[in-house]
Structure formats: C-alpha cells, structure tokens
Amino acid sequence: MESNNQNVRFSLAKISTDQFAIIPASFKIGEIVNLKTSLQFGSNKESKLISVKASFQFEQQLIPFLIIEASCFFNIEPNDWNTFVQEAEIVVPKSIITHLTVLTVGTVRGILHAKTEGTNFNGFVIPTINVTELVTGDIRM
C-alpha cells in the first residue's frame, strides 16, 4: 500500500487505561532511570475500529518502578476503512498509524500526569517521542 498522506476520517471512540502501577520500593534516588517503550496495534473489522496501545515502563537496573499502559480506539469512517482492506488483512498506511500513535502517546502522557499528580512520581514524564522512528512502515493486521 502506498504510504501517502491521505485524508482518513476518524473519531476517538474510547480511551482505556490498561495498566498502571507505582512500585515505590523499586525506586532508588540517584540511580539512572531508563524508559522502556512498546506499541501494539489492533483492528476490529466489524466495528471498523483501529486500536493503538502504548506501554511505558520507567525502570532502574531493569527493575520497573512506574508502569503505564493505555489504549486509544479510533472509529474509521466506512468509506475510508474500505481503503485499508487488502484481501484478508487490514493495511493501515504509515502516515495514518503514525498520526493515531501520536494521539495515543499524548493521551498516555496525560493519564500518567493525572495518576501521579500529588505524588513524588509526578516528575517522571513521558518525553517527546519521534513516533516516526517507532512506526517504520504500514501496519498489517
């Protein structure tokens, strides 16, 4: 599928906080903090829905102390959905899935802020991420 910047009409249908945990005993002041990031994509052909799940794990020496995972579900307009259908699979162009991923990462960033507000862990922020480095091509589902 050609990864052009086509106009796809969509709406945000649902946001889900799939996992959230603060593990204070695993955090050590002064130790280096690493951020582990992962993405998952899904589709529901009957509902014409695309989902993007973003997971972030703040860790020290490979031990997590702050975990958040959330999903955004996007309704795709039926005529636009049909452009994704290729034989038995759904193929979402890189430009579209990148845009949906940017929206999802921003949503997770806001959820993390709200969940940690008023705690000592509020200073841990999901940094700006170049999503084009994470989404390297069309997504086939």
Q: Which amino acid is at 55?
A: S
Q: Tokens representing 104?
A: 């999802």
Fold for the domain defined by 10-136: Bacterial Protein-export protein SecB (3.10.420)
| Residues 13-67 pLDDT 10s | 999 999 999 999 999 999 999 999 999 999 999 999 999 999 999 999 999 999 9
Q: Tokens representing 119?
A: 């705690």
Q: Name the region of 48 (left: φ>0; alpha: ψ -120 to 50; beta: rest).
A: left
Q: DSSP assignment, residue 80?
A: H
pLDDT on residue 88: 87
- Going from the C-alpha of 30 to that of each of 102, 119, 123, 124, the distances in angstroms are 31, 18, 14, 14
Nearest CA to 14 among 44, 38, 56?
44
For 73, the 3-state DSSP assignment is strand
| Residues 67-125 pLDDT 10s | 999 999 999 999 999 999 988 899 999 999 999 999 999 999 999 999 999 999 999 99
pLDDT on residue 90: 94
